[in-house]
Chains A and B, each alone.
Chain A
Amino acid sequence: MGHTWSKAAVATAAVVAGSLLAGCGGGGPGSGGGKISDDGITLGVLTDLSGVYAELAGEDAVTAVEMAVADFEKKHGDDAVTDDIDVISADHQNKPDVANTRARNMYEREKADAVFDVPTSSAALAVANVAEQSQKLYFNIGAATTELTGESCNPYTYAWAYDTYMLANGTGTEVTRQGGESWYLIYPDYAFGQDMEKEFSTAIEEAGGEVVGKDPTPFPNDNFSTFLLKASAKKPAPAVLGTLQAGGDLVNVVKQYQQFKLKEKGIQLAIGLMFDTDIKAIGQDKLAGTMFTSAWFWNVDEESREWAERFREEAGTWPTFDHAANYSAATHYLEAVQRAGTDDPEEVNKELEGMEFDDFFARNAEVRAADHRVVHDAYLARVKDPADSETAGDFTEKVETIPADKAFGPPSPDCSMS
């Protein structure tokens, strides 16, 4: 047996290849087809088609934008500014470098007039940068960072759905006011988590509460017992464990929170960001009663339910707020083009900036000219007890509406549009 490989070499190779394995995701095709600006409009949906956000955004976000196009065409018929509207999509794999290349490709080669969605903050920041350089529009839906309307704001980028301020201000403030005054925060140690931790700490302290402990956690992580025990060992015990994890990590936290019986020890769970898809993954019964802040949920009112029913016929699943916001943004973009009579971004901007509107997704909304943040009502929500659900997938009930002017922070002084 001539082993040409030493064990050490084999082992090292094993670890290196193991890391590759973890990093590997499916590649996604870019869709073809695109028109010169004057001949038609192309909407590009740049989203996660294969990774952790593929369900809450993904293919169904493309469906939402296609619905917006169909509704626009139906509404305007022959009076539409163009009869040639294309929707293209690409997978950015939640990676900033891939997002950068794909966005450039969409704008420059496929002649997209506007790009939508882009979950993952670092990827969204990369796309905002490309939008500015290409002088084409980008409607951020899926990414939560406030930096898009802060330091990195630019005249071509809009933030339509939500941000970390909204999440922290809703959950952090309200839970503190309702008596959860001492918090222990655990957050994933990357841009989104750090951003969320800062926003939550500020919101909690402004509401009169206190953050008695906080821990960055490795990402990804499957054992949170260390942090759960650190939190419960605090004297006096914190009233609230604030988890700012997302996806699989959030599921781990909730499962282990229950095994360690923190609820029984009087430590309530508050979740920073949660989509319907997370509730499905964890199990509604396990989360019943948990409070969180949401930009929208499908069962919030009659108009939303109507749209959600239509969406479900197309997509086969209830929409998340990402899907609804993609529809809303695409609709208002097309309407702005219609009113402007051109897809020239500068002209479209004039239509959108300062626009006040109200649709099923964005209630009492305004497109702020100062930072291109769309402010609208948000909802403090609670996970329903399974017995109260009207149908499968009816997970959420409204606790209260957070009015648009309170839901989002004021324009950041770091943002300069020129």
Chain B
Amino acid sequence: MTSFLQQAFNGLVSGGFYALLALGLAVIFGMLHVVNFAHGAIYMLGAFGAVALQDTAGLGFWWALLLVPLTAALAGMVLERLFIHRLAALDPLYNFLLTFGIALVCQDLLRMKYGAQSRPYDEGPFPGSVDLGPFDYPAYQVFVLGAAAVVCLAVWLLLTRTRIGTVVRASTERPELTRALGIDTGRWVTPVFGFGVALAALAGVLAAPMRAVNSGMGADLIIAVFAVVVIGGLGSIPGAVVAGFAIGMLQALGNLYVPVLSQTSVFVLMAVVLLVRPAGLFGKEEHAL
């Protein structure tokens, strides 16, 4: 039982990363109808940002946690204005290819500079363990889980309890109607993109003390995140979060009982969800317009 609980907890920590990344993807897809392929690359850049701050300016984890997502948000907004915006009216494929290309460029630029090897990063805050009752757990990883949960909850409250949130949700779900009510939906597109990007960068900073920081780290992770988004329902915010944590648990428990299948299980689940409920667990079935 203890090992089951421990593994479930492991799964929640992994799930925290999935949820943060999937949440960013969901927000961006909801508002812009862009599947942001550069999301994994931004996660990777977030982690590299933390390493760069440490190496060049001697700024530690907390500074990185503040500065990196802010910088990412700004860069994301510039990117949206300069490129993504211009392709918005065209077939979604164009933005597919654009973000895909951006991801490759980021990955290869870092590989050129640093090679494919990982970069060292300090241990991060909270070096000790926390007593969770039946077992001890690394304090830093408990913090990561807490941070992911708080961010997800905050986004949820932001979207449901504030006027900005209402506007964003309205522009996501019924853009024409929202515009007809005199609300300028266009002005929210850029900040929402920046926000989604910042979430990915935040996940990257959180990963730096506990995971290998290298140019491939985003590409490896993002496949699972896309599966999470599909399972949760593309564009669905609660879907992204719930599926993120659920997939994390599924993988961890899979590793415990059937290690061979733990990676595949995510995609099997995705295939089943697509067959039974093509819009995902939380997605709304879309009717032809």
Question: What is the distance, in angstroms, from A123's C-beta to the closest C-beta of chain B?
Answer: 16
Chain B residues positioned under 8 Å from A226 (CB to CB): 7, 10, 252, 255-256
Assess the B3–A229 pair: CB atoms within 8 A: yes
Query: Would you list which residues of chain A between 310 and 361 have a CB under 8 Å from chain B?
Result: none
Contacting pair B10 A21 (CB below 8 A)? no
Q: Tell yes or no: B223 within 8 A of A by CB.
A: yes
Q: Does B131 reach chain A (CB closer than 8 Å)?
A: no
Q: A21-B222, A226-B252, A229-B7 are in contact. Are A7 and B116 (CB under 8 A)?
A: no
B229 close to A11 (CB less than 8 A)? yes
Task: Please tell me if B76 contacts chain A, counting CB pairs below 8 Å.
Answer: no
A223 proximal to B (CB < 8 A): yes
Identify the closest chain A residue to B15 (Cβ): A223
Q: With the chains together, A14 CA to B96 CA distance in Å?
A: 8
Complex CA–CA separation, A19 to B37 (angstroms): 11
- Please state if A248 and B260 are interface contacts (CB–CB under 8 Å): no
A277 on the B face (CB < 8 A): yes
A10-B35 contact in complex given A222-B217, A248-B212, A252-B211, C-beta closer than 8 Å: yes
Closest to B220 in A: A220
User: Which B residues are CB-close (under 8 A) to A13?
Assistant: 96
Task: Please report which residues of chain A, range 1-17, place their CB below 8 angstroms from some CB of chain B when the two chains form the complex.
Answer: 1-8, 10-15, 17
Chain A, Cβ-Cβ closest to B253: A226
Q: How far is the CA of A280 from the CA of B220 in the complex (A)?
A: 22
Q: Scan residues 223-240 of chain B and give those whose CB is less than 8 A from a CB of chain A.
A: 223, 226-227, 229-230, 233-235
- Per-position 1/0 for A53-69, Cβ under 8 A of B: 11100100000000000
Q: Is B2 an interface residue (CB 8 A)?
A: yes
B138 adjacent to A1 (CB under 8 Å): no
Smallest Cβ-Cβ distance to A12: which chain B residue: B274
Report the minimal beta-carbon distance from B60 to chain A, rounded to whole angstroms: 15
Q: With an 8 A cutoff between CB atoms, is A22 at the interface?
A: yes
Complex CA–CA separation, A229 to B135 (angstroms): 10
Known: A218-B262, A225-B10, A255-B212. A248 touches B217 (CB 8 A): yes
Contact of A251 among B37, B108, B212 (CB under 8 A): B212
Interface residues of A in 124-169 (CB under 8 A from B): none
Is B111 in the interface zone, CB < 8 Å from A? Answer: yes
The answer to whether A223 touches B209, judged by C-beta atoms less than 8 angstroms apart, is no
A15 touches B118 (CB 8 A): no
- Residues of B near A12 (CB, < 8 A) are 230, 274
User: Which chain A residue lies CB-closest to B267?
Assistant: A15
**Residues of B in contact, count (CB < 8 Å):** 72
A258 at the interface (CB under 8 A from B): yes
A53, A58, A283 interface centre (most CB from chain B within 10 Å): A283
Q: Which residue of B lies closest to A222 (CB)?
A: B211
| CB nearest neighbor in B for A261 | B129
In the assembled complex, B210 has its CB within 8 A of some CB on chain A: yes
Contact status B216-A248, CB under 8 Å: yes
Near B by CB (< 8 A), chain A positions 171-190 give: 189
Tally of contact residues, A, Cβ under 8 A: 61
Interface core residue of B35, B37, B96, B120 (most chain A CB under 10 Å) = B120
A207 interfacial contact with B, CB 8 Å: no
Instruction: From B135, B256, B259, B270, name the one whose CB has the most chain A CB atoms within 10 angstroms.
Output: B259
Interface residues of B in 149-191 (CB under 8 A from A): 175-176
Interface 1/0s, chain B 278-289, versus A by CB < 8 A?
111001001001
Instruction: List residues of B (245-289) whose CB comes within 8 Å of A's CBs.
Output: 251-252, 255-256, 259-260, 262-263, 267, 270, 274, 278-280, 283, 286, 289
Q: Is A227 an interface residue (CB 8 A)?
A: yes
In angstroms, Cα B117 to Cα A55, docked, is 7
- Please name all residues of chain A whose beta carbon is closer than 8 Å to the beta carbon of B230 when the two chains form the complex: 8, 11-12, 14-15
- Residues 50-74 of chain B: 1 if any A CB is under 8 Å from the residue's CB, otherwise 0? 0000000000000000000000000
User: How distant is the Cα of A280 from the Cα of B230 in the complex, in angstroms?
Assistant: 38
B221 at the interface (CB under 8 A from A): yes
- CB contacts (< 8 Å) of B263 on chain A: these are 218
> Which residues of chain A have C-beta atoms less than 8 A from B123's C-beta?
258-259
For the complex of A and B, list the 9 residue pairs with the smallest distance between their C-beta atoms, beginning with the closest. A251-B212, A259-B138, A8-B278, A226-B255, A281-B118, A248-B212, A11-B230, A283-B120, A22-B219
Given A51-B116, A229-B135, A258-B123, 8 other A-B contacts at CB below 8 A?
A12-B230, A14-B226, A22-B223, A53-B116, A218-B255, A227-B255, A247-B118, A281-B118
A-B contact pairs, 14 of them (CB 8 A): A7-B278, A7-B279, A11-B274, A55-B115, A55-B116, A217-B255, A218-B262, A226-B10, A229-B10, A247-B116, A247-B118, A260-B138, A281-B214, A282-B118
